[in-house]
């Protein structure tokens, strides 16, 4: 049985930022966010501390590098009284991309982890260096504390999956360790766990994770069978700044012109809604649609059609669909997006009522019109899933 009172530090390492979220059990008690700012032509790092009551405070200090900031984080948590001899840190969690079979499981970081991360730089040149930096800083700043890599595909890596293979020569598959491992696994793992806990599991379900990154996964009897993301999160749906699935020749041409790393950056950071509408914020795009902005209308329609297309594809492959779930920021909060998506699926037996709101006491809401198939909103909690899995891993090692 996992001890829910364990204290974990969850890291989110960016190229110019570092976020530390401290959890006691599944409750976030404090977070630190370090971000870079320009000062007299030089980059400095400032820190905002957010406490459990939601209050924020900009700390009266600046750091020259994220590495220095990392070391300071431990001191700040100790001064705040969250980490001490009576309440030691049980583990540090770093989410890792699903680059190869090794990262379809959770691990205690060791030499093999870093060896595998070096290999993963080929397909994740933007994300992996940040993960390596976070892991090494964690080991240095918190000696003796287990540092865990939490797989972003573990919840999707099941024998039930029918879409893992790529139709490429086997020697290429083996050389680069390629597979449609998928992403957003922590979100899908949490939401499907909540579905089972709530007793609302249907035979054939689709979960739509719609946030800054977007994906869709189909489940039969609670087990994943199809997911929209592939070897990397670039495959599948267009999202805030990602292109989504495009003709592979375009990627090859971009790689030839700009080099592989810059080409990947273009497709990850400079594309998607941002490229189409000039904004990566769905709220701004919806406002543009209401004003008749042609670029906003095109971006919005492309986004909705992408989601509808994946739902229809997976429903056909599964031989039907009994329920749809929306989660993540857009999925949970955007009435227009949900209405637009479900509005195209009435022929499949789905229709929603516009006045439905989330019942926070239940943790979910069915927004379907009476007599139609269920459409649920279920808030995700990726950190809670990561913490649960980290606790299980540490408990297993302690046996």
Q: Are residues 137 and 203 in the same domain?
A: no
Residue-wise pLDDT tens for the chain (399 aa)? 344 578 999 998 877 788 999 999 888 999 999 998 888 888 889 999 999 888 999 998 888 888 888 888 888 888 888 888 888 899 999 988 877 899 999 999 999 999 999 999 988 988 898 889 889 999 998 999 999 999 999 999 999 999 999 999 999 999 999 999 999 999 999 999 999 999 999 999 999 999 999 999 999 999 999 999 999 999 999 999 999 999 999 999 999 999 999 999 999 999 999 999 999 999 999 999 999 999 999 999 999 999 999 999 999 999 999 999 999 999 999 999 999 999 999 999 999 997 777 776 778 999 999 999 999 999 999 999 999 999 999 988 877
Q: Each residue of 308-319: b (16+ CB within 10 Å) or e?
A: bebbbebbeebe
Q: Take residue 123 and report the two structure tokens written for it.
A: 């397909």
Q: Is residue 173 part of a domain?
A: no
Q: Which of 212, 243, 248, 215 is nearest to 229 (CA)?
A: 215
- pTM of the predicted model, to two decimals? 0.93
Q: Is residue 186 part of a domain?
A: no
Domain count, the chain: 2
Q: Are residues 233 and 143 in the same domain?
A: no
Q: Which domain holds residue 216?
A: 199-382
Q: Is residue 176 part of a domain?
A: no
The neighbour count for residue 326, using CB atoms within 10 Å, is: 28
Q: Are residues 348 and 220 in the same domain?
A: yes
Catalytic residue chosen out of the listed positions 60, 90, 152, 355: 152
Q: Take residue 113 and report the two structure tokens written for it.
A: 């982890």
Contacts of 175 (CB under 8 A, 6+ apart): none
Q: Is 196 exposed, middle or buried (0-12, 13-18, 19+ CB in 10 A)?
A: exposed
**Would you give the end-to-end CA distance of the chain in angstroms?**
11
Q: Are residues 262 and 359 in the same domain?
A: yes
Q: Largest alpha-carbon pair distance within the chain?
A: 64
Domain boundary among 151, 173, 208: 151
Give the side-chain half-sphere CA count within 13 A for 24: 10
For the question of residue 152 being annotated catalytic, the response is yes
Q: Which of 171, 219, 169, 173 is nearest to 192 (CA)?
A: 219
Q: Are residues 106 and 217 in the same domain?
A: no
Q: Is residue 166 part of a domain?
A: no
- Find the CATH number of the domain harbouring 268: 3.30.420.40
Q: Are residues 142 and 215 in the same domain?
A: no
């Amino acid at each position: 049985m996992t001890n829910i009172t364990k204290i974990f530090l969850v890291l989110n390492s960016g190229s110019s930022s570092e976020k530390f979220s401290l959890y006691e059990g599944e409750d976030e008690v404090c977070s630190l966010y370090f971000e870079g700012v320009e000062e007299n032509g030089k980059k400095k790092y400032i820190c905002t501390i957010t406490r459990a009551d939601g209050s924020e405070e900009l700390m009266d200090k600046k750091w020259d590098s994220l590495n220095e900031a990392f070391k300071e984080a431990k001191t700040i948590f100790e001064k705040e009284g969250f980490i001490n001899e009576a309440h030691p840190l049980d583990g540090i969690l770093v989410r890792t991309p699903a680059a190869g079979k090794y990262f379809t499981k959770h691990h205690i970081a060791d030499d093999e982890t870093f060896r595998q991360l070096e290999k993963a730089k080929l397909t994740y040149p933007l994300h992996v260096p940040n993960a390596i930096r976070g892991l090494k800083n964690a080991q240095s700043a918190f000696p003796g504390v287990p540092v865990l890599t939490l797989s972003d595909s573990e919840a999707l890596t099941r024998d039930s999956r029918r879409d893992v293979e790529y139709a490429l020569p086997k020697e290429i598959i083996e050389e680069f360790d390629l597979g449609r491992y998928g992403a957003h696994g922590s979100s899908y793992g949490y939401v499907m766990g909540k579905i089972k806990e709530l007793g609302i599991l249907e035979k054939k379900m689709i979960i739509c994770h719609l946030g800054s990154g977007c994906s869709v996964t189909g489940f039969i009897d609670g087990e994943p069978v199809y997911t929209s993301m592939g070897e990397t999160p670039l495959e599948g749906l267009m999202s805030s700044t990602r292109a989504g699935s495009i003709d592979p020749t375009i990627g090859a041409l971009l790689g030839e012109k700009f080099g592989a790393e810059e080409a990947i950056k273009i497709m990850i950071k400079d594309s998607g809604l941002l490229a189409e509408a000039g904004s990566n914020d769905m709220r701004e795009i919806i406002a543009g649609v209401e004003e008749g902005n042609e670029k906003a209308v095109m971006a919005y329609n492309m986004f909705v059609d992408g989601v509808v297309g994946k739902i229809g594809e997976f429903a056909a492959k599964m031989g039907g669909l009994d329920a749809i779930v929306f989660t993540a920021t857009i999925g949970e909060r955007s009435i227009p997006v949900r209405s637009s998506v479900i509005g195209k699926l009435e022929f499949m037996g789905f229709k929603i009522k516009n006045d439905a709101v989330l019942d926070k006491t239940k943790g979910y809401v069915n927004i379907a019109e009476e007599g139609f198939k269920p459409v649920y909103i279920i808030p995700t909690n990726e950190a809670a899933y990561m913490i649960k899995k980290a606790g299980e891993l540490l408990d297993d090692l302690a046996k």
